[in-house]
Amino acid sequence: MFRNFSRYLSLYRAFVVNNLSRAMEFRAQFFAGIIGYILWSGVSLLFINVVFGQVGAVRGWTRDEMWVLYGTYVVFESVCYGLLGPNMWRFSGLVRDGGLDLALTRPVNVQFFVSTRYLDLNGALNALPGLALIFFGLNHLGRWPSIGQWIVWLLLLGCGLLIAYCVWFAIVTLSIWFVKLEAGAVAFDPVMQMARFPIDIYPARARAFLTFVVPVAFLTTFPTESLLGKGDLRVLVGAICFAIFLLLLSRAFFKFALRFYGSASS
Give residue-wise pLDDT tens across range 246-260.
Answer: 999 999 999 999 998
Find out whether 195 and 219 touch, Cβ atoms under 8 Å: yes
* pLDDT above 80 (res 39): no
- Closest to 239 (Cα-Cα) out of 148, 171, 158: 158
pLDDT tens column, 102-134 = 888 888 899 999 999 998 877 787 888 888 889
Query: What per-residue confidence (pLDDT) applies to 211?
Result: 83
Find out whether 149 and 230 touch, Cβ atoms under 8 Å: no
φ, ψ of residue 162 to 5 degrees: the values are -65, -40
* Residue 159 pLDDT level (bands cut at 50, 70, 90): very high
Lowest mean pLDDT among 18-22, 88-92, 96-100, 199-203: 18-22
Coil, helix or strand for 188? helix
Residues 53 and 64: their CA atoms lie apart, in Å, by: 11
Domain range annotation of the chain: 12-258
Q: What is the mean pLDDT of the chain?
A: 85
Find out whether 66 and 220 touch, Cβ atoms under 8 Å: no
* Residue 2 pLDDT level (bands cut at 50, 70, 90): low
Residues 22 and 87: their CA atoms lie apart, in Å, by: 16
* pLDDT above 80 (res 37): no
